[in-house]
C-alpha cells in the first residue's frame, strides 16, 4: 500500500472569536477552552478538558467546514427544501413531514434521553450555532458561496435539529415499499399465467430463504424470525394493487431523485473485513471499512479526532451527527455496514364506504388521525408561495396512499418508530465503550438494521447485527402487504440477545458486503437481495485464498472487489465451458480474449479505454442472456422485474435457472426451455454480431470506453459543479476507506475520505485548499495516515487554535 506524503503548508481556515453562545448554555459566565489542531489535510483534532467542551467544539468545527451542507441536510430532513430550491422539491418535503415527527414529538423524545446524551446533543447544536452567529457578523468571508447564490440565511441549531437529522436520515436508509411492488408483480403474473404458474414464478423470484446464500456468521446466536402457516394463510390479494403500486413507485422514484440531487445519500451499502490474529500475518487483529455513500462534493461523512478525559477516538461519521461511525480508539477499532433487515411493513386498511377517513380495525371503524402542515415553496418566478397538505395516519403509521375507488388505504409501519433517540444514544455510547462486552451491549440497544464490527489489540474480533425485528403472524406472507384489519398484528419483537452475533468466530475472520448475517436469517420482501450469487463472495474467496493476511493484502482484495465484474464469478465459467464444448474455430479469438481478461474493469495505461476486449465481449453478452431467458417468459411483468432478477448484489435466480447452483434451492418454474449452452451461445452470437458492426472483425480492437466518475456531476442541490471536474475510474468501492492494525502499542492505520475535508467555497467561487485534495489519493489507491496519538497529530499539524467558550 502506498503512503502519500505532502509537504506541510501554512493554512488558516478560520479565525476563532470570543463570542457568547446560544441560550441553551448561557446560564453562567464560566469559561472553557478547547484546542483545535488541523493536520495537513484539514482534519480537526480536538482536545478538551471535558466532554461538554469537546462536543461543543465538534459542532463548531463541523459548521466551519460544512455549514452549507449542514443546512441542506437539515432542510432535507425537516421538509423545508422547496422554499429555497424550488417547487420540484415540494413532494419530497411533503413525504418527509408525512413520515416524520413534529418538533414537539422530537423534543419529547429528547426529554426522555439519558443525561449524557442530552448534554452531547445540546452542546453539539450550540457549537454549530456559535459559528452561525459568527458568520452573520462576517457573511462575505464566513458564508460559503451557495448561501449567497441561493440567498439562504442559516439559522441557529437546536437539539431537535440534531436528533431529527439522525431520525430522518437513518429512517430513509431503512425504508422500503417493496411489498407493494411485489403484490403488483404477483397480480400481473396471475393475470397472464393463472394462479398456479404465477405462484411458481413469484416464489422463484422472491425466494424466502436460499440456504446457499453466503452468510457472515455461523448460526450460533441467530434465530429464524419468519414462520409460516400456509394452511391458514391470510388473504393478501388487494383490489387496485397494480395501480396503487405504480403510484407509490412513481412517488418513490421522484423522492430518490430529489434526495440524490440534494446530496442526501440513499443508495448506501458498505463493506467490511475483520481479520483475527490466527489469520493475520503479524498476529494482530486487522479491520477494513468501506462505507458506501454517494460520491458527492462535499462527501457524506466527516472526519475528526476527539480527545477528552475518558475518550480518545479518531474516525468519521455521517455529516450532522456527533457520532463516530467508522473509527478507532486506543484499544479497539470499529466500522459498520447496512444490515438490509426487514423492519418495515405495509398494512392495507379497509375503508368505510361511507367515510374514507375511517378504517376497519378489530371489528370497529376507527377515525384516522389528521395533521395539517403548511409548506412554503419558491415558484418559477422566484416568489414564495404557501400550500397546506393534510396527512392521515392509522394505528399502523402514516397513510402513504388513499384509494377511495377500492376502499383501501396503505399505511407504513416501521418497527423502530419512536425508538430513534434510543438508537442515537446507543451509537454515541458505543464511542465510549471500553470493552467488546460494552460494545455488544450498545449494539443490543440499536433498533435500526446495521452490522457493527469490532477488533481490539488483544486480538478479539466481533460482529453484531442490530435492529428491532418484529415477530410476524405466521399466517402472513411477509413478502406482501399485510391486511390491516387487526387479525395479523405483530406478536412482539425478537429479543436482541437472539440477534446474530459472533465473537472470535472459528473462521478467524469476518467479511460483509450487505449479505445476510446468518444462514437462518431472512429479510422478507427483500429476500431477492440475499442469494447464492452475492457480491460478498468476492471478499470470501480472496480472504480464504491466503493463509495469512496483511493490511496490504486486504487493500488488494478491496481493489479487486471494487473493479471486478460481479457476474464473472459464476457466469463467465459457464460461458467458457460452453465455448470449449463447441470447438468451433469462429470462437477462438473470443475464447482467448475472455481467458486473458482478469475480470477487472481496469484502465492501467490510462488511455480512457478498458484494457481487455474480454470485458467488452462479456458486458455485451450478459444483458442479452438475461433478456433471452426472461423477457418472453415474464411478458408485461418483465420491466418491473429486470432490476430485481439482475440486481447490484447478484443474479441468483439466473444461476439456478441455468443449472449452475451448488445449493439445495431449486426452481419451481421451468424458465429454460433449451439447453443451457445453447442459450449462452445464442446470446454470444447476438453480442458478437453487434460488436462486429461497431468495431469490425478484429477482436483485439474491441476496447470499450472506460466509465468514469466525479464528485459529482453536480454539487449539492444540483448547482453547476463547484466540486471537482477530476474524473477517475468507476469503482464499486467505499466512498471512504480505512485500514487499522491493532498492535499491542495501539492502533496503526491509513484512510482516505474524498473529495476533501472542508466543503467551503468562497463567495468568488474559490475552492478551499482541502475541498478536493483527497481525490488524487483515492483515484491512485493511496492513503493518508490515521493520526491517533497527540505526537502524530503534532507531526502533521499545520495550525493550532484555541476556542474559548463562554458557558
State the Cα–Cα distance between residues 451 and 273, nearest whole angstrom.
12
Please state, as a whole number, how many other Cβ atoms lie within 10 Å of the Cβ of residue 344: 24
The β-bridge relationship of strands 44-48 and 301-308 is: parallel
CA distance 7 to 769: 13
Asked if 759 contacts 298 with a C-beta cutoff of 8 angstroms, the reply is: yes
Hey, what long-range contacts does 660-666 have (CB within 8 A, 24 or more apart)? 660/570, 660/571, 660/574, 661/212, 661/532, 662/212, 662/532, 663/210, 663/211, 663/212, 663/213, 663/532, 664/211, 664/212, 665/207, 665/209, 665/210, 665/211, 665/212, 665/532
Identify the three-state secondary structure at position 334.
Answer: strand
Helix axes 420-430, 115-137, angle to 10 degrees: 90
Q: What are phi and psi of 259, to 5 degrees?
A: -65, -45
Coil, strand or helix: which one is 113?
Answer: coil
DSSP per residue over 228-242, as a string? --GGG------TTHH
- The cell for 709 is 466518475
- In angstroms, the Cα distances linking 100 to 94, 108, 163, 353, 417 are 10, 14, 12, 29, 10
Q: What is the DSSP letter of 608?
A: S
Backbone φ and ψ for 153, nearest 5 degrees, come out as -105, 115
Longest dimension (CA), the chain: 87
What is the Cα–Cα distance from 286 to 281, expressed in whole angstroms?
10
Residue 408, all three cell numbers? 383501501
Phi, psi values for residue 755, rounded to 5°: -75, -25
| Exposure string over 468-500, b if 16+ CB within 10 A, otherwise e | bbbebbbbbbbbbbbbbbbebbbeeebebeebb
DSSP 418-480: T-HHHHHHHHHHHTT--SHHHHHHHHHH--S-EEEEEEETTS-EEEEE----B---TTS-TTS
Q: What are the distances in angstroms from CA 381 to CA 147, 384, 385?
A: 19, 9, 11
Q: Alpha-carbon distance 127 to 143, whole Å? A: 16
State the cell numbers at 597. 481478461
Residue 781: CB atoms within 10 Å: 17
Is 213 a catalytic site residue? Answer: no
Question: Rounded to whole angstroms, how far apart are CA atoms 384 and 374?
Answer: 13
- C-alpha distances out from residue 602 to 211, 704, 725, Å: 34, 11, 20
- Three-state secondary structure of 523-564: CHHHHHHCCCCCCCHHHHHHHHCCCCECHHHHHHHHHHHHHE
- Residue tagged 434526495 (cell numbers): 259
Q: What is the chain's Cα-based Rg? A: 27
Task: Check 129, 259, 270, 612 and give the catalytic one.
Answer: 270
- Whole-number Å distance between alpha carbons of 719 and 732: 25
What are the DSSP calls for 262-300, one per residue? TT---S---EEEEE-GGGBTTSSEEEEEE------SS-S
Could you list the active site residues?
270
Amino acid at each position: 500500500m502506498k503512503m502519500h506524503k505532502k509537504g506541510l503548508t501554512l493554512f488558516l481556515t478560520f479565525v476563532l472569536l470570543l463570542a457568547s453562545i446560544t441560550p441553551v448554555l448561557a446560564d453562567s459566565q464560566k469559561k472553557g477552552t478547547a484546542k483545535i489542531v488541523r493536520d495537513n489535510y484539514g482534519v480537526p483534532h480536538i482536545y478538551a478538558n471535558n466532554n461538554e467542551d469537546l462536543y461543543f467544539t465538534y459542532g463548531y468545527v463541523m459548521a466551519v467546514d460544512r455549514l452549507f451542507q449542514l443546512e441542506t441536510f437539515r432542510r432535507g430532513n425537516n421538509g423545508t427544501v422547496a422554499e429555497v430550491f424550488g417547487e420540484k422539491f415540494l413532494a419530497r418535503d411533503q413525504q418527509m413531514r408525512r413520515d416524520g415527527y413534529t418538533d414537539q414529538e422530537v423534543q419529547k423524545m429528547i426529554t426522555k434521553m439519558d443525561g449524557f446524551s442530552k448534554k452531547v446533543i445540546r452542546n453539539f447544536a450550540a457549537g454549530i450555532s456559535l459559528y452561525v452567529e459568527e458568520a452573520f457578523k462576517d457573511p462575505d468571508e464566513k458564508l460559503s458561496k451557495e448561501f449567497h447564490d441561493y440567498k439562504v440565511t442559516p439559522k441557529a441549531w437546536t437539539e431537535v435539529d440534531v436528533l431529527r437529522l439522525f431520525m430522518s436520515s437513518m429512517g430513509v436508509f431503512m425504508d422500503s415499499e417493496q411489498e407493494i411492488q411485489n403484490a403488483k408483480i404477483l397480480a400481473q403474473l396471475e393475470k397472464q399465467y393463472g394462479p398456479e404458474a404465477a405462484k411458481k414464478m413469484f416464489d422463484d423470484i422472491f425466494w424466502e430463504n436460499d440456504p446457499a446464500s453466503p452468510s457472515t456468521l455461523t448460526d450460533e446466536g441467530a434465530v429464524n424470525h419468519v414462520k409460516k402457516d400456509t394452511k391458514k394463510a391470510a388473504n393478501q390479494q388487494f383490489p387496485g394493487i397494480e395501480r396503487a403500486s405504480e403510484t407509490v413507485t412513481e412517488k418513490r422514484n421522484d423522492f430518490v431523485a430529489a434526495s440524490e440531487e440534494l446530496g442526501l445519500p440513499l443508495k448506501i451499502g458498505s463493506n467490511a473485513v475483520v481479520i483475527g490474529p490466527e489469520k493475520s500475518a503479524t498476529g494482530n487483529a486487522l479491520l477494513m471499512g468501506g462505507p458506501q455513500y454517494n460520491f458527492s462534493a462535499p462527501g457524506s461523512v466527516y472526519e475528526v479526532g476527539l480527545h477528552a478525559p475518558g475518550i480518545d477516538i479518531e474516525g468519521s461519521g455521517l455529516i450532522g451527527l456527533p457520532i463516530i461511525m467508522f473509527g478507532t480508539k486506543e484499544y479497539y477499532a470499529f466500522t459498520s455496514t447496512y444490515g438490509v433487515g426487514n423492519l418495515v411493513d405495509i398494512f392495507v386498511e379497509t375503508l368505510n364506504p361511507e367515510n374514507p377517513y375511517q378504517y376497519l380495525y378489530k371489528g370497529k371503524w376507527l377515525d384516522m388521525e389528521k395533521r395539517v402542515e403548511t409548506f412554503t415553496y419558491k415558484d418559477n418566478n422566484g416568489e414564495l408561495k404557501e400550500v397546506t397538505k393534510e396527512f392521515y395516519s392509522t394505528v399502523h403509521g402514516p397513510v402513504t396512499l388513499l384509494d377511495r375507488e377500492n376502499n383501501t388505504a396503505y399505511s407504513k409501519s416501521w418497527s423502530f418508530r419512536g425508538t430513534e433517540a434510543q438508537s442515537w444514544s446507543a451509537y454515541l455510547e458505543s464511542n465510549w465503550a471500553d470493552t467488546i462486552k460494552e460494545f455488544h451491549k450498545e449494539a443490543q440497544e440499536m433498533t435500526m438494521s446495521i452490522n457493527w464490527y469490532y477488533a481490539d489489540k488483544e486480538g478479539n474480533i466481533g460482529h453484531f447485527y442490530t435492529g428491532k425485528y418484529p415477530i410476524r403472524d405466521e399466517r402472513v406472507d411477509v413478502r406482501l402487504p399485510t391486511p390491516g384489519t387487526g387479525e395479523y398484528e405483530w406478536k412482539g419483537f425478537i429479543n436482541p440477545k437472539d440477534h446474530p452475533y459472533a465473537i472470535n468466530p472459528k473462521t478467524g475472520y469476518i467479511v460483509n458486503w450487505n449479505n445476510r448475517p446468518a444462514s437462518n436469517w431472512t429479510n422478507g420482501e427483500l429476500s431477492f437481495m440475499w442469494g447464492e450469487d452475492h457480491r460478498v463472495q468476492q471478499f470470501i474467496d480472496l480472504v480464504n485464498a491466503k493463509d495469512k493476511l496483511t493490511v496490504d493484502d486486504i487493500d488488494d482484495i478491496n481493489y479487486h472487489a471494487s473493479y471486478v465484474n460481479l457476474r464473472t464469478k459464476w457466469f463467465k465459467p459457464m460461458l467458457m465451458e460452453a465455448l470449449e464444448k463447441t470447438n468451433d474455430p469462429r470462437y477462438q479469438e473470443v475464447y482467448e480474449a475472455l481467458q486473458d481478461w482478469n475480470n477487472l474493469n481496469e484502465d492501467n495505461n490510462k488511455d480512457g479505454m478498458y484494457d481487455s476486449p474480454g470485458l467488452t465481449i462479456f458486458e455485451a453478452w450478459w444483458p442479452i442472456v438475461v433478456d433471452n431467458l426472461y423477457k418472453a417468459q415474464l411478458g408485461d411483468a418483465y420491466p418491473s422485474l429486470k432490476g430485481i432478477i439482475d440486481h447490484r448484489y447478484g443474479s441468483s435466480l439466473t444461476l439456478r435457472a441455468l443449472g449452475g447452483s451448488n445449493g439445495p434451492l431449486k426452481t419451481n418454474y421451468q424458465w429454460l426451455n433449451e439447453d443451457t449452452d445453447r442459450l449462452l451461445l445464442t446470446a454470444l452470437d447476438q453480442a458478437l454480431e453487434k460488436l462486429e458492426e461497431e468495431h469490425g472483425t478484429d477482436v483485439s480492437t474491441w476496447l470499450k470506453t472506460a466509465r468514469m466518475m466525479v464528485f459529482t456531476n453536480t454539487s449539492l442541490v444540483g448547482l453547476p459543479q463547484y466540486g471537482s471536474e477530476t474524473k477517475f475510474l468507476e469503482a464499486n468501492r467505499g466512498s471512504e476507506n480505512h485500514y487499522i492494525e491493532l498492535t499491542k502499542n495501539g492502533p496503526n492505520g491509513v484512510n482516505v475520505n474524498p473529495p476533501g475535508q472542508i466543503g467551503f467555497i468562497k463567495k468568488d467561487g474559490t475552492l478551499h485548499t482541502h475541498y478536493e485534495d483527497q481525490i488524487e489519493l483515492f483515484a491512485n489507491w493511496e492513503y493518508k495516515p490515521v493520526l491517533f496519538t497527540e505526537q502524530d497529530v503534532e507531526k502533521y499539524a499545520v495550525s493550532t487554535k484555541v476556542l474559548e467558550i463562554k458557558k
